[in-house]
Amino acid sequence: MKRLATLITAALLLSACHREDQRDVVSLSGRMFVFNYRVATATYLVTLQPTSPIKDGSTIEASFENPRGGEAFAVTEKLFPKSPKIVLQSLPVECVKEGRPYKVTIKLKAPDGHVMQTIETSITSDTDQSLLPAKPLVVGPLYTPNPEVFKTDGSVDMGAVEGCPAG
């Protein structure tokens, strides 16, 4: 009986240690596509909330599926221990389709480079990027109408991005 109690205690201690090592450092608090009609861009936006102390020198890496196809977009950011939230934004993307989930992988790395936490999720847009003009509507600091969109003859070119894969 004493041996059984010792084994149970040891198992509980080991599982407690394992849980401590697997504790999440951040939690996913938001994810979406941001469409900026003024400058004709779409980007991924992910927000995370620290749930445990973050060591100075830690980094976060995100990999965003490329909606056009091909290699994923990668973003690496330095983390700041006292920051109340973490915001990750991709470079502009093209060909986002409404209702289609796009894969996002996030890795939180300690100062020594080992991965402390991995989050795999997806982002689904409720808007199709074909509704976004292919060219910025304005240019310059004074929001001057873009002459490539608003032609001198009075016509307007609001064409969408071309060459997007089907589906």
CATH of the domain at 53: 2.60.40.10
- In a domain? residue 145: no
- How high is the mean pLDDT of the chain? 87
Domain count, the chain: 1
Give residue 11's pLDDT band: very low, low, confident or very high (50, 70, 90): very low
Q: Which of 109-113, 144-148, 156-160 is predicted least confidently?
A: 156-160
- In a domain? residue 122: yes
- In a domain? residue 138: no
Whole-number pLDDT of residue 90: 97
Q: Which of 18-22, 35-39, 54-58, 66-70 is predicted least confidently?
A: 18-22
Whole-number pLDDT of residue 161: 86
Residues 6 or more apart whose CB falls under 8 angstroms from that of 81 comprise: 53, 54, 55, 56, 58
- In a domain? residue 18: no
- In a domain? residue 15: no
Question: What sign has the CA pseudo-torsion 130, 74, 44, 102?
Answer: positive
Q: Which of 2-16, 50-64, 125-139 is predicted least confidently?
A: 2-16
Distance separating alpha carbons of residues 100 and 142, to the nearest angstrom: 36
Give residue 101's pLDDT band: very low, low, confident or very high (50, 70, 90): very high
- In a domain? residue 85: yes
Is 85 in contact with 29 (CB distance < 8 Å)? yes
- In a domain? residue 125: yes
- In a domain? residue 165: no
Q: Examine the pLDDT at 102 and tell me if it is beyond 70.
A: yes
Q: Examine the pLDDT at 52 and tell me if it is beyond 90.
A: yes
Which range of residues forms the domain containing residue 38?
23-131
Give residue 5's pLDDT band: very low, low, confident or very high (50, 70, 90): very low
